[in-house]
Amino acid sequence: MVAPTGLPTVDAASRAVAQLLEALGGGGGWHALSLAELPRLAAVSCAVDARLLALDDGLLGALASCERTVTFLRARMAQDSEFTSAIEMAVGMSEMHCPDELWLSAQRCVDEQPLSHLAVVRSFCHAHIYRAESFYTDLSALLDAMGGWAWERADAVRSSLLEVDSVHEPLVELLDGGADDAAPTRLLQLGRPGRNTAWVCASAPSDGAGALAPGNNGGDGDEGGAA
């Protein structure tokens, strides 16, 4: 996430945290410290940005591993109006235009759960998704974008992001149906193993349950069948 030129700031922060942990845990641990050592601890702690304490490793790791989802949102749905319109159109899709992975056969409608997860991710990580540069110039720039997040929600947002990324291809197909490259994308999706069609051939049951009943031979349904 941080540009190579900004990695020294990350290394410096790592060393500062290590020094603070050593100061707090060395010589018998926290309980062995006295007020006389407070000035020394204060000097060491000043080198650590307090915003680092709130960061959640799980969510940061998920953002890095799910970069394709972040890239899609940044490239295709930069404006709130674009995102809202795409969601509304996706919800109204018919079975013919909806990827199988996102169609609820029993309810005969689009599965709105991944769309809801995507909205959560976009809202929470908005500052990161739509940052000006691909990489943060240094650690301070990263903390400026993420430091104000409500990190107590990190686990829920991480779960939503992983859920969205697990259906990335069909979700992109659903939301991006009006794009210029939508048709080629659909053709590429047909090559996925999950889209393979299997034909099952079986003979009629021995009890005749599969046979047409009298009067139900595809005609008008009159009793007695064809004359």
Q: Give 10-residue mean pLDDT values along the chain (227 residues).
A: 89 86 69 75 82 88 94 90 92 88 91 95 94 89 89 94 94 75 53 64 64 47 43
User: How many other CB atoms are found less than 10 A from the CB of residue 97?
Assistant: 15
pLDDT digits (tens, 9 = 90+) for 91-147: 999 888 888 899 999 989 999 999 999 999 999 999 999 988 888 999 999 999 898
User: In this predicted structure, what is the pLDDT of residue 179?
Assistant: 46
Looking at residue 203, its amino acid is S
Reference 113, options 174, 195, 58; nearest CA is 174
Q: Which whole-number Å values give the CA distances from 11 to 17, 60, 135, 142, in the listed order?
A: 10, 17, 16, 14
User: In this predicted structure, what is the pLDDT of residue 41?
Assistant: 79
